[in-house]
Amino acid sequence: MISKKLEEAINDQINFEFYSSYIYLAMSAWFKDQNYNGFAHWMEVQAREETFHAMKFFNFIFDRGGRVELKTIKQPVGDWKQPVDVFKSAFEHEQMVTSRISNLMDLALQERDHVAAALLQWFINEQIEEEASVRNIVDQMRMMGDSKDSIFMLDRELNARQVGALVAAYLTGQPAPNA
């Protein structure tokens, strides 16, 4: 069984993952408006990954005999000046996610819930990748500065992003490959 305290905190995190998905969709919409279709695609993939994260917590609560409570999703910000600002916001957001996951891990350890700790370890590893990939894009964009040509080339490059195998399996309803 999951403790009430942890159940509540994970329910909050389900909401936050859906909110993250919403944020990335807002970013995708902004890029689409500006005709950066590759960045828009990258953000849409990111939004799908966040839905998958939410569902991972959702299923965990059921597996541990808890109750899921879905709450209202906050409206995301939807306005930026230039592409690099969007990715900077994404990076700041991922840092916030990392600190939230760390707090959840602290709580799981306090509650001596090692099953929850194992799940959260998966998320901590995931956050290392999330932060690194966004930081990498921000760094590249900073180097490109005002060069429109370079930004458009990066836009084309990011158009190739695909969802991870676990997310793809989730989205298509196929059995998950061995992680």
Under the rule (CB under 5 A), what is the footprint of Mg ion?
50, 53
Q: How far is the CB of 48 from Mg ion (least distance, A)?
A: 11
Q: How far is the CB of 97 from Mg ion (least distance, A)?
A: 5
Which of 78, 84, 88, 79 lies closest to 148 in space, CA to CA?
Answer: 84
Supply the DSSP symbol for 161: -
Q: How far is the CB of 53 from Mg ion (least distance, A)?
A: 4
Identify which of residues 25 and 151 has a Cβ nearer to Mg ion in the complex: 25
Neighbours of 149 (CB within 10 A): 8
User: DSSP per residue over 109-153, as a string?
Assistant: HHTT-HHHHHHHHHHHHHHHHHHHHHHHHHHHHHHHTT-HHHHHH
Identify which of residues 73 and 153 has a Cβ nearer to Mg ion in the complex: 73
Which of 135, 141, 160, 113 lies closest to 5 in space, CA to CA?
Answer: 113
Residue 61: C-alpha distances to residues 57, 101, 127, 170 (Å): 6, 16, 21, 17
Q: How far is the CB of 151 from Mg ion (least distance, A)?
A: 26
Identify which of residues 44 and 50 has a Cβ nearer to Mg ion in the complex: 50
Q: How far is the CB of 42 from Mg ion (least distance, A)?
A: 15
Identify which of residues 24 and 36 has a Cβ nearer to Mg ion in the complex: 24
Residue nearest to Mg ion (CB): 53
Identify which of residues 50 and 113 has a Cβ nearer to Mg ion in the complex: 50
